[in-house]
Chains A and B, each alone.
Chain A
Amino acid sequence: MINLVPDEMRINNRYALRNVRLVRYTAVAILTMLSILAITGLSILNMNRTENTYQQQSEQQAQKLATYKPLQDKSKQLSDQITTINTLLARQVKFSELLPSIAQLMPPGAVLEDLDFTTSDILNTTTPAAGAASGSATSATQKPFILRAAVKDRTVASTLLNNIKTSKGLFTDADIVSVNQATKGTSTDANATPSITVRYPYEVTINAYLKKISPQQSTTSSQGSKTP
């Protein structure tokens, strides 16, 4: 079949057909863009509403939290005070428990002549390692606790020294300074009755080195026997 339509009209017809398709495409593109705009717009509106809700909630909570400020201050103050009390309790040295522990070291035939303690003799003010040191190193750096006891004889004095040395929970080391026979002329106590000098005629002086205890242990380390 011979197409007798002129060339120009034929080309126009072809473009016209293409244009119909293109118009459809354009419509679809416009619709797509409008849909995206609508969806996004609605979403952002919804998100704005949610944001406002949360913002209001946040403000209400901030107001509520502000009302708890005095409570917070009060609890902080109480907490600080309890911590301070706890610190004081941890540093406590119980002489009522320490005395029986020392008395228990006295062998038969020995009595204490006097005792002189201070908490600084016992509480560790340096590092725990320094307090745990023993032997000559301790003796070289630590002020001794002077223990004076009246004893029946020199053997009792040596037993007392051994008892002190083996009481690792209480003392780290001990040295006898002197063992003197208490006679009337040399007695340190003028009021001493004859009976005590007869029963305990020797006076032993011992340099004992108290075990430095860390504050946490101070209330528990000396819980030995309660009897003198």
Chain B
Amino acid sequence: MKKLNAKMLFWILIAINVLLVGATLAVFTQASSAAQKKSQKIVGYKSNDQANDQLISYYKVLQTTLNQNASLESTIQKILPTDKDQSGALADLDKFSKDNHVPIQQISFNPGTNKGTGQTLTSPSGVKGVSVISVALSSTNATYENTLAFLKTIENTQRRMQVTSLNITPNNTNPDLLNRIDMTVDIYLSEGK
């Protein structure tokens, strides 16, 4: 076995130094890579948290808005009910005719084209999720002003209604008096979910 002298130790130390420098570089690279991965993960979580925070704050505002407008749902239900509530519609039309002095001789409900339980009288409206009940009304001997007021009441009532056809025949001697008024009123209702 060769005796360890200073020269041999020198070369051994050179080798150790080279290995140490290499190992240091490797450790540095690995540590940097690991730290970068962790950092990216943290950034991801952080941005996710921030987005969630924002979303939660929006929901809080939404909750407050909905609480402040608690009657909104019932108002919508009145405007566009899910139930056809034929008796309610009939009562409304009767009230409008009495309030505006437009005597209605005939009210007839269109049988409708929709099929299924609870769908009788209803037809598609052309607007997604909305059906209509078509009601034909006939009136005689109403004044022009009263008829206008009657139309205005139908147009402005809370429950969504639309006069879709109107036929008026004025009196021969007094054009302010209408001999006959025929109209069709579409009463809208939500098809529900």
Contacts and interface: CB of A to CB of B under 8 A. Distances in A.
Partners in one complex: yes
B166 A117 contact: yes
Interface string A75-102: 1011011101101110111111001100
Interface stretch (A129-137, A154-162, A164-172, A188-196): A188-196
Chain A interface SS verdict (over half): helix
A26 B20 contact: yes
A50 B43 CA distance: 10
Given A12-B7, A54-B46, A68-B59, A36 B166 contact: no
Of the four ranges (under 10, 10 to 19, 20 to 34, 35 or more), the interface on chain B belongs to: 35 or more
B165 interface: yes
Contacts of B164: 118-120
A12 B5 contact: yes
A37 B35 CA distance: 12
Interface string B3-15: 0011101100110
A22 B52 CA distance: 57
Given A51-B41, A54-B42, A58-B45, A191 B172 contact: yes
A112 B128 CA distance: 38
A36 B24 contact: yes
B173 interface: yes
A65 B155 contact: no
A32 B17 CA distance: 12
Interface stretch (B86-94, B105-113, B144-152): B144-152
A138 B149 CA distance: 33
Interface of B: 5-7, 9-10, 13-14, 16-17, 20-21, 23-24, 27-28, 31, 34-35, 38-39, 41-42, 45-46, 48-49, 52-53, 55-56, 59, 62-63, 66, 72-73, 76, 79-80, 127-130, 144, 148-149, 151-152, 155, 160, 162-170, 172-173, 175-176, 188, 190, 193
Interface of A: 11-16, 18-19, 22-23, 25-26, 29-30, 32-33, 36-37, 39-40, 43-44, 47-48, 50-51, 54-55, 57-58, 61-62, 64-65, 68, 71-72, 74-75, 77-78, 80-82, 84-85, 87-89, 91-96, 99-100, 111-120, 189, 191-193, 195-196, 228
